[in-house]
Amino acid sequence: MNFPRTYFLKDIAKIINGKMIGDAEFPITGINEIHKVEVGDITFVDHPKYYKKALNSLATTIIINKEMEAPKGKALIFSNDPFIAYNKLVAHFSQFEKANQMIHPETEIGVDTHIQPGVFIGKNVKIGKNCLLHANVTINGPALIGDNVIIHSGTVIGGDAFYYQKRENGYNKMISCGRVIIKDNVEIGANCTIDKGVSGDTVIGQGTKLDNLIQIGHDTVIGENCLFASQVGVAGTVTVEDDVILWGQVGVQKGLVIGNGAIVLGQSGIGKSLEGGKVYFGSPTKEATEKMRELVYITRIPEIIEKLKK
Amino acid sequence: MNFPRTYFLKDIAKIINGKMIGDAEFPITGINEIHKVEVGDITFVDHPKYYKKALNSLATTIIINKEMEAPKGKALIFSNDPFIAYNKLVAHFSQFEKANQMIHPETEIGVDTHIQPGVFIGKNVKIGKNCLLHANVTINGPALIGDNVIIHSGTVIGGDAFYYQKRENGYNKMISCGRVIIKDNVEIGANCTIDKGVSGDTVIGQGTKLDNLIQIGHDTVIGENCLFASQVGVAGTVTVEDDVILWGQVGVQKGLVIGNGAIVLGQSGIGKSLEGGKVYFGSPTKEATEKMRELVYITRIPEIIEKLKK
Amino acid sequence: MNFPRTYFLKDIAKIINGKMIGDAEFPITGINEIHKVEVGDITFVDHPKYYKKALNSLATTIIINKEMEAPKGKALIFSNDPFIAYNKLVAHFSQFEKANQMIHPETEIGVDTHIQPGVFIGKNVKIGKNCLLHANVTINGPALIGDNVIIHSGTVIGGDAFYYQKRENGYNKMISCGRVIIKDNVEIGANCTIDKGVSGDTVIGQGTKLDNLIQIGHDTVIGENCLFASQVGVAGTVTVEDDVILWGQVGVQKGLVIGNGAIVLGQSGIGKSLEGGKVYFGSPTKEATEKMRELVYITRIPEIIEKLKK
């Protein structure tokens, strides 16, 4: 998430009640968790195991729970609890706004876009032209929706990421401040759930079509002209390239990459990244021809046992 | 879909801007895609591979992208793009109506039927007597709902079919004009999705009970007194006969037939039609006893390898 | 379900039009189906096979379809159709109330709890403090929701149990009168379904976090600090102990127990109770290491066949 304007180290340190290590006027332009950081961002690290990764990341300011010198060209903020400090900062810049009407009055809606009754649209949502939002859709902002997009009833855009840190008192939630971006000509079926990014964007690429009851996790990026059949579940931070077809009830674990034009047969469980241009099947997934061969081999075990007896 | 009255070749040719081949007064009584055509229907074909099938189907008028003589007793309409022409015709006869209220004023609702708050009912919906629609249900017409039907919250009846044609500019949607028909004494759980037929009907048979989060695809016909547990997904154009039991998370591929009284155990993936009266398990599905035997055989592989070593 | 006050055998016999066997003043304090009965409860039995179980249960009054002497310290009500009599009694004490507004006026809502637009709350719901109910959530009472609970859009709390008795005229529904209890610090994702107990309680333990599109069946009790990923389905009357992690699309059959700290990998199908403290995988589920070994063994079958040929 980018801040609405540039802030300075002193401003941010004050918000989170942390100790500045660096120039008070050091500029900070946004906040992101470690997987999404860019130059100008502030991020956090709270475990020595990840100090190096955070300090060497693109982030130029890091909230950290050890006092040390700032790396060259960067700034630090010392905090006893960087996770809480990060969450506080996110909350500061993306405060949940209680709604008292179904459609936020500042929603930008393009020409020829129609919104059926029962649709909720929260703060910071922009919808293109010639879209159709069916009854009882929910869009929690921030979200950007392109042109010619159809969203079917009951679908929820912009739920929070399923992202917790285990702490002594149970799971603590990482507050989501990312967006959902839905490109032109996308159609999303009924009762789907598309979570917002934790700090980055969840993206559904142009021309992609989703059937009903599909889950798309936080910060996942889906390419163009993909087809996902009903009840597919894609975890967070997945990259699905273009022209990928996932048949019904396929599951994709977090962080994977599914290559261009891959086709995955129904109920497959994807636990490793998949090369494009091939057909896959099984849980865990293999190339479909290999998996089919395996299924035949299994049927030959009784015959093997017979032979061994002789 | 039947037209509201009989039209003639000249009327239809004019709507889709096509060239008549046949008697201008040739009657056309409805429109259906090729799998659902009946006598009097107009359908379309746009690939030489399927010309014969379309011309020999029950359809009496065919939109086709090759100029030829009409078969005896039939008429043709020549169009450079029959898919687009077909879609145009569907749109003409089943135009989506923008709603500005939660329940369409022309909805027919039987005695002792109760509709909870937050329910949306679109155009062309008829509901029988003694039904209960829980809060936040969505019914997009056209739909026919029988007597003593219970529909739980969040369920979406009559979403569009997941049906696209791949074209140069990406996936083009086949516009759905079919109905959902829910027979007497059906109960449908929460957050289910029952898609409308593309041009025919999606049917849930009398006395059938669906649990939560179930997907039923377009033009699928479910028999009487079936039980589907939670998260079952049935693709489009499936036939499920009577007294079938599908346990949780079962998936059924498109176009299959599940015979009377079949029982399918949890998480099974059905890729071939199943004979009735038997119990099935696995993905892909086998008879349960056979599958169970296989699972035991697999555990004997280490012992086989041991024996071979000796 | 406990009755609002103590009733007597004569009162209950009158409501269900049954024949008292016992003291007319025998006290009855609640109604429960056989799996949930406590002292003071009335329950029913309609098959000789289960007579003994019902008569020896904690229930102190039993609706039964055979005239016999009451066991010592208990009472009976004779009815030709105990199932119907039981349902009639449940309906009497927990009559579905038609709502005409989105939030029942008697709903108890704690301080700092915020309810977004489009939320439906039925009769007999109590919500703690500092909760957030996102847009288009449905809560059918009776339900008790603790403090600091977040429920995402489209989720349905308190749907009826999927619980039918097969009878000559098809499936007859067991009317649900149980509650949903959601403890403090629980977060429930979007488009989930949490069914109410048939006569007892469905419970989500303190600090437990559910992702999107998850099904929790009737009378299931989930412990503290569990994590369930998207599209998990848990059937009815399951016990999940504390700190259990179920990854995406896992299915759990009815009546099982999942022990403390068990971790179950994605798409696993749990058909037997699982000991705590271990990692599981597969459908049906095994310990993950054993399952992984099996998957490797399967790949060795071609090599075994080769060897046998020699």
Instruction: Render pLDDT for A212-222 as a digit per residue (tens, 0 to 9).
Output: 999 999 999 99
Q: What is the pLDDT of residue B169?
A: 87
Nearest residue of chain A to residue C268 (CA atoms)? A283
Which site among A222, A228, A231 would you substitute to test the B interface, given the most B Cβ atoms closer than 10 Å to its Cβ? A231
Note which residues in 264-293 of chain B have CB less than 8 A from chain C: 266-267, 283
What SS3 string covers A131-150?
CEECCCCEECCCEEECCCCE
CA neighbor of B262 nearest in space, from B231, B241, B232, B233:
B241
Q: Do B266 and C267 touch (CB under 8 A)?
A: no
Residue C292: both structure tokens together: 């992984």
pLDDT digits (tens, 9 = 90+) for C6-47: 999 999 999 999 999 999 999 999 999 998 899 999 999 999
Q: What is the pLDDT of residue A97?
A: 83
Please, which chains are in contact with A (at least 3 CB pairs closer than 8 A)?
B, C
Q: Do B152 and C170 touch (CB under 8 A)?
A: no
Q: Do B117 and C98 touch (CB under 8 A)?
A: no
Active site annotation includes C218:
yes
Which site among C97, C107, C120, C212 would you substitute to test the B interface, given the most B Cβ atoms closer than 10 Å to its Cβ? C120
Read off the amino acid at residue A139: I
Strand partners, B166: B171
* B160 interface with A at CB cutoff 8 Å: yes
pLDDT at A20 over 90: yes
Q: Above pLDDT 70, what percent of chain C?
A: 100
Q: How many CA atoms lie within 13 A of A242 on its CB side?
A: 6
Number of helices (H), then strands (E), belonging to chain C: the values are 5, 34
Q: Do B190 and C159 touch (CB under 8 A)?
A: yes
Cβ pair A186, A208 in contact under 8 A: yes
What SS3 string covers chain B?
CEEEEEEEHHHHHHHHCCEEECCCCCEEEEECCHHHCCCCEEEEECCHHHHHHHHCCCCCEEEECCCCCCCCCCEEEECCCHHHHHHHHHHHHCCCCCCCCCECCCCEECCCCEECCCCEECCCEEECCCCEECCCCEECCCEEECCCCEECCCCEEEECCCCEEEECCEEEECCCCCEEEECCCCEECCCCEEECCCCCEEEECCCCEECCCCEECCCCEECCCCEECCCCEECCCCEECCCCEECCCCEECCCCEECCCCEECCCCEECCCECCCCEEECCCCEEHHHHHHHHHHHHCHHHHHHHHHC
Q: Which residue has the tokens 């790949």?
A: C299
pLDDT at C279 over 90: yes
Q: How far apart are CA B282 and CA B26, in angstroms?
A: 52
Please, which chains are in contact with B (at least 3 CB pairs closer than 8 A)?
A, C
Strand partners, A205: none
Nearest residue of chain C to residue A230 (CA atoms)? C231
Q: Do C283 and B267 touch (CB under 8 A)?
A: yes
**Closest partner residue to B118 among C102, C173, C308, by Cβ?**
C102
Nearest residue of chain C to residue B207 (CA atoms)? C170
Domains of chain B, by residue range, sit at 2-93, 108-293
pLDDT, mean of residues B37-51: 95
* B109 interface with C at CB cutoff 8 Å: no
C22: Cβ contacts below 8 Å, ≥ 6 apart: C9, C61, C70, C74, C75, C76
pLDDT at C237 over 90: yes
Neighbours of A287 (CB within 10 A): 15
Enter the pTM of the model: 0.96
Which site among B98, B155, B156 would you substitute to test the A interface, given the most A Cβ atoms closer than 10 Å to its Cβ? B156
Q: What is the mean pLDDT of chain B?
A: 96
Helix axis angle for C288-299 and C301-309, nearest 10°, is 40
Cβ pair B12, B42 in contact under 8 A: yes
pLDDT digits (tens, 9 = 90+) for A104-146: 999 999 999 999 999 999 999 999 999 999 999 999 999 999 9
Q: What is the pLDDT of residue A250?
A: 98
Which member of A35, A92, A104, A218 is catalytic?
A218
Note which residues in 39-78 of chain B have CB less than 8 A from chain A: none
State the DSSP H helix or E strand holding residue A288, giving kind and residue range, or none if neither.
helix A288-299
pLDDT at A95 over 80: no
Reported confidence tier of residue C96, pLDDT bands at 50, 70, 90: confident
pLDDT at C95 over 80: no
Q: How many CA atoms lie within 13 A of C163 on its CB side?
A: 23
Q: How far apart are CA A39 and CA A28, in angstroms?
A: 9
Note which residues in 196-215 of chain B have CB less than 8 A from chain A: 213, 215
Residues in A touching B211 (Cβ below 8 Å): none
C113: Cβ contacts below 8 Å, ≥ 6 apart: C127, C128, C129, C130, C131, C132, C133
CATH topology of domain C2-93: 3.40.1390
Which site among C191, C222, C227 would you substitute to test the A interface, given the most A Cβ atoms closer than 10 Å to its Cβ? C191
Question: How many angstroms away from the CA of A205 is the closest CA of chain C?
Answer: 22
Q: What is the pLDDT of residue A169?
A: 87
Reported confidence tier of residue B94, pLDDT bands at 50, 70, 90: confident
pLDDT digits (tens, 9 = 90+) for B127-155: 999 999 999 999 999 999 999 999 999 99
Q: Which residue has the tokens 């009398």?
A: B206
Read off the amino acid at residue C166: K
Question: How many angstroms away from the CA of B195 is the closest CA of chain A?
Answer: 9
Q: How far apart are CA B301 and CA B221, in angstroms?
A: 43
C132: Cβ contacts below 8 Å, ≥ 6 apart: A96, C113, C114, C116, C149, C150, C151
**Closest partner residue to C215 among B117, B153, B230, by Cβ?**
B230
Question: How many angstroms away from the CA of A20 is the closest CA of chain C?
Answer: 33
Q: Do B187 and C173 touch (CB under 8 A)?
A: yes
Verify cis geometry, omega within 30 degrees of 0, for the bond prior to B4. no
* B91 interface with C at CB cutoff 8 Å: no
Range C133-139 contact pairs with CB under 8 angstroms and sequence separation of 24 or more: C134/A138, C134/A140, C134/A159, C134/C190, C135/A99, C135/A102, C135/A120, C135/A122, C135/A138, C135/A140, C136/A118, C136/A120, C136/A136, C136/A138, C136/A156, C136/B118, C136/B136, C138/B118, C138/B134, C138/B135, C138/B136, C138/B153, C138/B154, C138/B190
Q: What is the pLDDT of residue A309?
A: 84
pLDDT digits (tens, 9 = 90+) for B153-182: 999 999 999 999 999 889 999 999 999 999
Question: How many angstroms away from the CA of B62 is the closest CA of chain A?
Answer: 29
Residues in B touching C271 (Cβ below 8 Å): 266
Q: What is the pLDDT of residue A157?
A: 98
A-C interface: how many C-beta pairs under 8 angstroms? 135
CA neighbor of B1 nearest in space, from B176, B163, B160, B126:
B176
Q: How far apart are CA A172 and CA B29, in angstroms?
A: 62
Q: CB burial class (10 A; 0-12, 13-18, 19+) of residue B80?
A: exposed
pLDDT at B309 over 90: no
Q: What is the pLDDT of residue B96?
A: 81
Largest Cα–Cα separation, chain C = 85
Q: How far is CA C147 from CA C38, C107, C108, in A?
A: 29, 15, 12
Which member of C92, C104, C114, C218 is catalytic?
C218
A-B interface: how many C-beta pairs under 8 angstroms? 135
Q: Do B173 and A187 touch (CB under 8 A)?
A: yes
Say what the ipTM of the complex is.
Answer: 0.95
Q: Do A207 and B235 touch (CB under 8 A)?
A: no
pLDDT digits (tens, 9 = 90+) for C257-270: 999 999 999 999 99
**CATH level 2 (architecture), domain A108-293:** 3 Solenoid (2.160)
Residues in A touching C190 (Cβ below 8 Å): 138, 156, 159, 193, 195
Q: Do B100 and A114 touch (CB under 8 A)?
A: no
Residues in B touching A206 (Cβ below 8 Å): 170
